[in-house]
């Protein structure tokens, strides 16, 4: 039992680290090439989708069966365009116009929005712990955007808009495919989602040319691009695989190291600087997610102690 738990811990921590470093690596790639967010995302989504689906195909999994069910593949297309492509594009654009840490923190607001959506859908008032999480998240966003001064907003209007779209995109990305994943499995849905999202973006981005990409890519930047695609795909596989050995609460808590890794790497490698209140805002957002992962019984005990 202990050995399987250790396997799960290694998987989720490795996956979180890989995802945490991917943001700064993407930022570095943009700084050293002329790639746009759309150019990068076309390659990343199509390549990751093909890798995932080929992996499943060679494991004798029927990846084409879903296309025999119109109701399901229509939902899959909606997920691919609005969920996979929407969330990924907003995230990458936030990295492009601000930085990797900001994008990662906005992404981390997803669980808070899901909590609000569930409360509205179930017509159930949020618990005390959920209120604490919501307050912490709102305070975190305020400090992240303003660095403590309303008169001197740190992030541009465009960065704020795409940051909010990142949070909304990852919320939709999480909620919409629930029934599809239950029927067809996570890997199949995400694999097709990435491939379809990449193909749609390819046709929406007429300026994309492989020959133009080849001109801007050098050996170091091409190597980085390949590493980002592979590490992102491996990160996802490790995260999903860890759920076999750990609870969803444990995986969520451990994945909270993602923004920490992104912040450390950005400061040490990319020479990014963050205001003290911005760092406090990031801490508030992570605390909000940690509170939302506490089981209901534990949450009740905590609120009783606080009160």
pLDDT at 304: 43
Which two tokens mark 177? 């495919």
Residue 146, SS3?
A: helix
Tokens 């403590």 belong to: 148
- CA-to-CA distance for 225 and 56, rounded, in angstroms? 23
pLDDT at 249: 56
pTM flag (> 0.85):
no
pLDDT at 299: 41
Q: Is 295 left (phi over 0), alpha (psi -120 to 50) or beta?
A: beta
pLDDT at 127: 80
Residue 259, SS3?
A: helix
pLDDT at 2: 57
pLDDT at 294: 64
The domain of 76 spans 2-306
Mean pLDDT by 10 residues, the chain (307 residues): 74 84 91 90 92 90 93 94 90 90 85 82 80 85 82 83 91 82 85 94 85 84 91 77 66 71 85 83 84 56 39
Give the torsion sign (CA, 56, 57, 59, 63). Answer: positive
Domain count, the chain: 1
């Amino acid at each position: 039992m202990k050995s399987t738990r250790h396997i799960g811990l290694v998987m989720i921590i490795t996956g979180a680290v890989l995802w945490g470093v991917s943001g700064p690596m993407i930022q570095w790639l943009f700084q050293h090439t002329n790639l746009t967010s759309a150019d990068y995302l076309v390659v990343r989504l199509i390549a990751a989708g093909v890798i995932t689906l080929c992996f499943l195909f060679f494991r004798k999994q029927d990846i084409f069966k879903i296309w025999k069910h119109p109701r399901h593949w229509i939902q899959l297309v909606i997920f691919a365009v609005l969920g996979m492509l929407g969330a990924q594009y907003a995230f990458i654009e936030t990295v492009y116009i601000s930085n990797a840490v900001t994008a990662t923190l906005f992404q981390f607001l997803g669980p808070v929005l899901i909590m609000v959506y569930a409360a509205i859908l179930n017509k159930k008032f949020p618990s005390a712990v959920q209120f604490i999480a919501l307050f912490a998240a709102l305070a975190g966003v305020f400090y992240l955007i303003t660095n403590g001064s309303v008169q001197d907003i740190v992030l541009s209007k465009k960065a704020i808009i795409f940051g909010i779209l990142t949070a909304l995109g990852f919320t939709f990305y999480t909620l919409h495919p629930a029934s599809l994943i239950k029927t067809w499995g996570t890997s199949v849905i995400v694999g097709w989602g990435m491939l379809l999202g990449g193909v749609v973006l390819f046709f929406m981005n007429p300026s994309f040319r492989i020959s133009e990409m080849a001109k801007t890519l050098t050996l170091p930047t091409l190597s980085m691009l390949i590493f980002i695609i592979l590490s992102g795909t491996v990160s996802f596989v490790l995260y999903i695989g860890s759920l076999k050995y750990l609870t969803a609460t444990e995986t969520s808590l451990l994945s909270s190291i993602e923004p920490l890794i992104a912040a450390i790497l950005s400061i040490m490698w990319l020479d990014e600087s963050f205001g003290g209140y911005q760092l406090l805002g990031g801490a508030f957002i992570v605390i909000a997610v940690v509170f939302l992962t506490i089981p209901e019984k534990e949450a009740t005990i905590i609120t009783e102690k606080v009160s």
